[in-house]
Structure 1
Amino acid sequence: MAIRQVGALPLRKVRGGGFEVLLVSSRETGRWVIPKGWPAKRLSDPKAAAREARQEAGVTGKISDTPVGGYRYRKKMADQTVRVVEVEVYVLWVKKQRKSWLEKDQRVRAWFTQGDAARKVREPRLKTLISQFGV
């Protein structure tokens, strides 16, 4: 059975129309991912996703109330078992990008064009979600 996480898809508008996507490196493998984490008892899912974006990527902004999609990935747990994780993704329109944030020393963050971001991530449904967003 899949376990659940919430994720933020951080976006910023660019001159001339369109937008860029912010990706962060994962701590374990260094591959490109979106900020994501566990739902919180005291926070709504969108607010929990926004908190992950603040902690993992140092960005804040306006988060969508409803998920724009989801994807699955395999996560190695602390006990070395591998679990399937279902991630619900919320769009975060970035208003502020901090120079310093909680996981700055553990991750790299970078802005990509929509096409480049879709190519950088590994999970097929996340690739599709990014490449088809706004189409």
Structure 2
Amino acid sequence: MMNPRSIPWLESIKLMISRPEPVQLAALCFRTPQGQDTPEVLLVTSSNGRWILPKGWPINGLHSWETALQEAWEEAGVHRGKPWQDPLTSFSSIKRHPNGIEQRCSVSVYPVEVEEMRKDYPEADRRQRQWLSLPQAHDRVDEPALRGVLQQFEQELAARA
């Protein structure tokens, strides 16, 4: 019988399989319009047209919440906002790369209270953005895990009120 340790490619495959999921950081952008009691959340379109939260890979030198705020700027035009420094939650998602490869990753979600938006932002020509009530956002997203995040956010806001 051959020793599996003597097959280098088998060790590489075992390492790839046993690695933890890579992490992305998402911004759950919200505001409460003047004269309203209920918040709205901001969704953006992904490269394939699904409605999602702005998110991306960690950025060296930035805290996770700072990265989430940076993604909110690049993908949604959030010029100023107050991010929570602790994540609301995390969920498992599939990242679809342009080359067709799908990768499971863990997404940590940082709520960001939006103070100022800009019409001109880095990905304005590639994404749509829309403010929605929490029930509307829940109906708009396809990912069940993201629906759960929106429900959890609504519960957290109610608990803080």
- TM-score, structure 1 normalization: 0.93
SS of match in other structure, 2:71: helix
How far apart, CA to CA, are the structure 1 residues paired with 2:119 and 2:81?
A: 15
Larger CA deviation: 96-105 vs 120-129: 120-129
Q: Percent identity?
A: 36
Match of 1:64 in 2: 84
1:108 and 2:128 equivalent?
Answer: yes
SS of match in other structure, 2:149: helix
Unaligned runs of 5+ in 1: none
- TM-score, structure 2 normalization: 0.79
Name whichever structure is richer in strand by fraction: 1
Structure with higher RCO (Cα < 8 A, 6+ apart): 1
Match of 2:147 in 1: 127
Judge conservation of contact 1:4–1:85 (CA < 8 Å) in 2. Answer: yes
SS of match in other structure, 1:103: coil
Q: Which among 60, 70, 81 is matched to residue 41 of structure 1? A: 60
Paired letter, 1:7: A
Higher gyration radius (CA): 2
Judge conservation of contact 1:71–1:123 (CA < 8 Å) in 2. Answer: no
**Runs of 4+ more than 6 Å apart:** none
In the TM superposition, residue 78 of structure 1 has moved relative to its aligned partner by 4.8
How far apart, CA to CA, are the structure 1 residues paired with 2:92 and 2:83?
A: 21
* Alignment RMSD (CA, Å): 1.3
How far apart, CA to CA, are the structure 2 residues paired with 1:72 and 1:47?
A: 21
Name whichever structure is richer in helix by fraction: 2
Match of 1:26 in 2: 46
Q: Which among 10, 14, 36 is matched to residue 16 of structure 1? A: 36
Residues 79-122 of structure 1 show CA distances to partners (whole Å, capped at 9, x for unaligned) of: 53321011000000000010110000000000000001111112
Match of 2:107 in 1: 87
Q: How many residues align?
A: 134
How far apart, CA to CA, are the structure 1 residues paired with 2:90 and 2:61?
A: 22
In the TM superposition, residue 34 of structure 1 has moved relative to its aligned partner by 0.4
